[in-house]
């Protein structure tokens, strides 16, 4: 991770094919295309790889989450349960629809704690949205049981975990809806792009229309299409989709490289007394994009992270102090800093996160260090990195 590390001739050839037609938009201009429909091609490839009936490409992972929620009828005042550890896009997509992001604690999976989820359910709850952060998944079996018990939708945010699996199913395909990001730093990239997957025909049809101004896409005359409901513009371009057509063919190759490099790093630091690792739920296999480990205390973790960075271990993250990925620095959410007036439902029902107690999350995140696993490392570079990590961590504990 990320896929741009291994850009090559296939990506260039796919993009050139689009440029040769002169049609950069995914819809219309049929006569000029010379049979090239890159968005449709990528959707078909993803459908096959993920084992789902339907795929809708959109302009970003954030768009995928927004469209997925909208496709299921989520709107003003509806509550969506999400974790304290994620990227801000998770709550942005919820707020964009006037819905309420309900933050709950994580556990040693670094994702949703099922007990915390069940405790947070109210009469307004409509969706449980686990976020498979840093390549691994939530306790999906437990979360699915909770959703079935309470009649809720399970929406998997798998934007950082494409290629992982649970109970033999690709991540994203286990719930009612799944979302991926193909931005520049994801395991496979379109530069910018995203997708939602589902086996629900109604959700797919809604997503298809909603992401293109409400176009019903019936017939061959775009101007004559009808608009059964309001929609917005979340379209992907043919240029972005073309890059994805090349990258998706290499997904399993990328995962294999990540798994090998991850294994070298993990095996080396596993010998350090006091290092433990993030729990991967039974039946799950992560995509190996990040190595996530716990140290004995927040102080040790913070100091060790600084030592690793100063010692030349790049792409090393201490999320506890991060502006974008952990609730502690989300003051724009806590204080509802918005350019325009937010819906009354948001102002009225949003929990007061300035008074929230997420100490159970803090106990995990305060001790967590994440290290990105790159695709472009040579065997020698991986080995050297592993030894450097071992030596630094051993001194700091």
pLDDT of residue 22: 97
Question: Do 227 and 317 lie in a common domain?
Answer: no
Q: How many residues does the chain have?
A: 397
Please measure the distance between the N-terminal and C-terminal CA atoms of the chain and give it in whole angstroms.
29
User: Is it the case that residue 75 has pLDDT exceeding 90?
Assistant: yes
In the listed set 235, 250, 265, which residue is the last one of a domain according to the structure? Answer: 250
Catalytic: which of 144, 186, 328, 374? 186
pLDDT in tens, 162-178: 999 999 999 999 999 99
User: Is it the case that residue 71 has pLDDT exceeding 90?
Assistant: yes
In the chain, which ranges are continuous DSSP H helix? Answer: 9-21, 38-50, 61-71, 89-95, 114-120, 140-150, 201-210, 238-248, 251-269, 298-310, 331-334, 344-349, 359-365, 379-396
pLDDT of residue 45: 98
Question: Do 228 and 275 lie in a common domain?
Answer: no
Pairing of strands 153-157, 125-128: parallel
pLDDT in tens, 328-384: 999 999 999 999 999 999 999 999 999 999 999 999 999 999 999 999 999 999 999
CB 292 within 8 A of CB 278: yes
Active site residue 186: yes
Q: What is the CATH number of the domain that holds 215?
A: 3.40.640.10
What is the distance of C-alpha 233 from the center of its chain?
A: 21
Question: Do 221 and 325 lie in a common domain?
Answer: no
pLDDT in tens, 243-289: 999 999 999 999 999 999 999 999 999 999 999 999 999 999 999 99
User: Is it the case that residue 16 has pLDDT exceeding 90?
Assistant: yes
What are the structure tokens assigned to 97, written together? 């629809």
- Segments forming the whole domain that contains residue 272: 252-396
pLDDT of residue 149: 98
Q: What is the CATH number of the domain that holds 365?
A: 3.90.1150.10
In the listed set 226, 250, 274, which residue is the last one of a domain according to the structure? Answer: 250
Cα angle 287, 67, 178 (rounded to 5 degrees) comes to 25
User: What rounded mean pLDDT belongs to the chain?
Assistant: 98
Model's pTM, two decimal places? 0.97
Q: pLDDT grade, residue 1 (50/70/90)?
A: confident
């Amino acid at each position: 991770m990320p896929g741009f590390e291994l850009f090559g001739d296939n990506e260039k050839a796919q993009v050139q094919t689009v440029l040769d037609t002169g049609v950069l938009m995914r819809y219309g201009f049929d006569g000029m295309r010379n049979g090239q429909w890159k968005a449709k091609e990528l959707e078909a490839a993803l459908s096959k790889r993920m084992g789902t009936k339907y795929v809708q490409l959109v302009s970003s992972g954030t768009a995928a989450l927004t469209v997925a929620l909208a496709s299921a009828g989520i709107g003003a005042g509806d509550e969506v349960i999400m974790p304290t550890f994620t990227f801000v896009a998770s709550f942005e997509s919820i707020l964009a629809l006037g819905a309420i992001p309900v933050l709950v604690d994580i556990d040693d999976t670094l994702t949703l704690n099922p007990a915390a989820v069940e405790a947070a359910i109210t009469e307004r709850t409509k969706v449980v949205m686990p976020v498979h952060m840093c390549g691994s998944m939530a306790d999906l079996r437990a979360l699915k049981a909770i959703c079935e018990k309470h009649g809720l939708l399970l929406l998997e945010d798998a934007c950082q975990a494409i290629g992982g699996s649970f109970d033999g199913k690709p991540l994203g395909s286990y719930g009612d809806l799944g979302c991926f990001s193909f931005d520049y730093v994801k395991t496979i990239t379109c530069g910018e792009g995203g997708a939602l997957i589902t086996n629900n025909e109604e959700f797919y049809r809604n997503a298809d229309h909603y992401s293109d101004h409400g176009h019903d896409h019936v017939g061959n005359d775009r101007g004559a299409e009808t608009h059964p409901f309001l929609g917005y513009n979340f379209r992907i371009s043919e240029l972005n989709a073309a890059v994805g057509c090349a990258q998706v063919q290499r997904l399993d190759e990328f995962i294999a490289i990540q798994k090998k490099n991850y294994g070298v790093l993990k095996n080396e630091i596993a010998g350090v007394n006091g290092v433990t690792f993030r729990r991967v739920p039974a039946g799950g296999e992560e995509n190996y994009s990040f190595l996530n480990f716990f140290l004995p205390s927040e102080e040790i973790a913070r100091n060790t992270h600084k030592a690793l960075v100063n010692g030349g271990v790049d792409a090393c993250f201490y999320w506890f102090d991060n502006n974008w990925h952990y609730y502690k620095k989300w003051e724009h959410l806590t204080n509802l800093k918005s350019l325009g007036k937010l819906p009354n439902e948001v102002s009225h029902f949003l929990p007061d996160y300035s008074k929230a107690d997420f100490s159970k999350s803090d106990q995990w995140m305060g001790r967590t260090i994440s290290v990105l696993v790159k695709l472009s490392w040579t065997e020698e570079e991986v080995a050297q990195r592993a030894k450097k990590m071992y030596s630094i961590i051993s001194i700091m504990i």
